[in-house]
Copies of this chain bind each other. A is one copy, B any other.
Amino acid sequence: MKIEHPTPINWQFAKRAEQLQSSVIREILKITMRPDIISFAGGLPSPETFPVEHMKAAFDNVLSRQGKIALQYGPSDGYAPLREWIADSLSIAGATITPDQVLMVSGSQQALDLLGKVLIEENSKVLVETPSYLGALQAFSVYQPQFVSVPTDDYGLLPEAVDGIADGARLLYALPNFHNPTGRTMSVERRIALVETCARRGLPLIEDDPYGALSYRGEPLPKMLTMNPSGVIYMGSFSKVLTPGIRLGYVVGPTPLIRKLEQAKQAADLHTSQLTQMVVYEAIKDGFLAEHIPSIRTLYANQCQVMLDALAEFAPEGVKWNKPEGGMFIWVTLPKHIDCMQLLEEAIAQKVAFVPGAPFYANEPEKNTLRLSFVTVPPEKIREGVSKLAKLIAAKI
């Protein structure tokens, strides 16, 4: 019943889709999945940290006791007990978050898409850090904003730079804890100053916090959400503290925005897996994360130190890097004349990989930067990889 000689379709994509590209990082990841490559390119958490048995028990428990509910369609805003748990975990004295301020999403990447869909008008200004998280730039770019890069230094975004560039902006997007890609942490003083500036301007401030719990020393710094619950939109995720493969995150904010995001969520995919939400609630409700997260912190802190030591030992003069206080990444700046895209080709030939920094810049890429992840590479391989990379860099200086 196949028809004969159909006219081939001349695919005409919408303008918003024309600029979509596959993430440079995911393309690099495909190459560097080969087991013979020492890859610092990943943004993936270490599978060592996945609590497989605990998750298996939670699935078994939920399916045994509430199988037919877990396997049925669920509400668009998410599973109520989990939303309550999240609201409680974010509330502090003087700043209470309520469950109706929480929307469950399919990984926090989806929160970025929904926020872009609901807030970004074509050609409107969107303020992002220099550099910024690539996934956010990708998600927002579909809605065709004009990205404005907010200046940063080693301590993160410079709040005093915002007033001069924010007129007409629809939102400011920041990642204050153990930033991706730079590993930087924004100081408390700057957080207060940024929240005050955005609040004074009535500018929605997005606080993306996938790594906040992964502090190597002591508790994380205060969340900007708690400094102004009526103006900050907070994004959280279970990807880095539990497991990413289940795709579960959340967005928290003022209710008029959350209700609009809920409508967008409904149109986008009805709701996030009911089973996944019930299982995660089952897995964490009795305090599991408080036991589990310290083991992730210790693993990552140790591997970070191995990489810092290796950089100190092998990196040639002229190479700079930061010392992260948590998270998964070290940011390396090479002498200006070195193009890290080119360096990557040579590195892959030597069986080492990293992510060039350029794609993380919304405007004017600094091509002499690169991101290193230490979390999925065993210590001896970290030393070997950094040593190889250092030789390649030294040959260019």
Contact with B along A104-142 (1 / 0, CB 8 A): 011101100100011111000000000000010011011
A312 lies within 8 A of chain B by Cβ:
no
Chain B residue at minimal CB-CB distance from A200: B7
Contacts of A9 in B (CB 8 A): 202-204, 230-231, 254
A68-B56 contact given A246-B275, A272-B247, CB 8 Å threshold? no
* CB–CB A71/B1 < 8 A: no
Known contacts A12-B170, A228-B6; A20 and B196 CB within 8 A of each other:
no
- A267-B272 Cα distance, complex, nearest whole Å: 17
Q: Please provide the chain A residues from 214 to 253 with a CB less than 8 Å away from any CB of chain B in the complex.
A: 222, 226-228, 230-231, 239, 243-247
With a CB–CB cut-off of 8 A, which chain B residues contact A118?
13-14, 17, 20
Q: Is the CB of A269 within 8 A of B245?
A: no
A266: which B residues are within 8 A, CB to CB?
22-23, 26, 138
A46 → chain B closest CB, angstroms: 9
> For residue A246, which residues in chain B have a CB less than 8 angstroms away from its CB?
71, 273-276
User: Does A365 reach chain B (CB closer than 8 Å)?
Assistant: no
- Which residues of B are found within 8 Å of A121, using beta-carbon distances? 14-15
Q: Tell whether A391 is near chain B: CB-to-CB under 8 Å.
A: no
Contact B269 A107 (CB under 8 A): yes
Contacts known (A269-B110, A270-B109); A47 close to B68, Cβ less than 8 A:
yes
Complex contact A263–B20 (CB within 8 A): yes
Cα-based distance from A218 to B119 in the complex (angstroms) = 49
Residues of B within 8 A of A143 (CB): 14
Query: Which B residues touch A70, using CB under 8 A?
Result: 245
Pair A227/B1 contact, Cβ less than 8 Å: yes
Interface residue A148 (Cβ < 8 Å from any Cβ of B): no
Within 8 A of B (CB), among A246-303: 246-247, 254, 256-257, 260, 262-264, 266-276
B113 touches A142 (CB 8 A): no
Q: Are A202 and B270 in contact (CB under 8 A)?
A: no
A99 CB contacts on chain B under 8 angstroms: none
In the bound assembly, the distance between CA atoms of A222 and B3 in angstroms comes to 13
CA distance A9 to B255 in the complex (A): 12
CB atoms of A142 and B264 under 8 A apart: yes
Q: Can you sample 29 A-B contacts with CB below 8 Å?
A: A2-B95, A2-B227, A2-B228, A6-B200, A7-B200, A7-B201, A7-B202, A10-B202, A12-B119, A13-B119, A13-B260, A14-B120, A17-B117, A17-B263, A17-B264, A20-B118, A22-B76, A22-B262, A23-B266, A47-B72, A71-B245, A72-B245, A73-B245, A105-B269, A106-B272, A107-B270, A135-B267, A141-B267, A246-B276
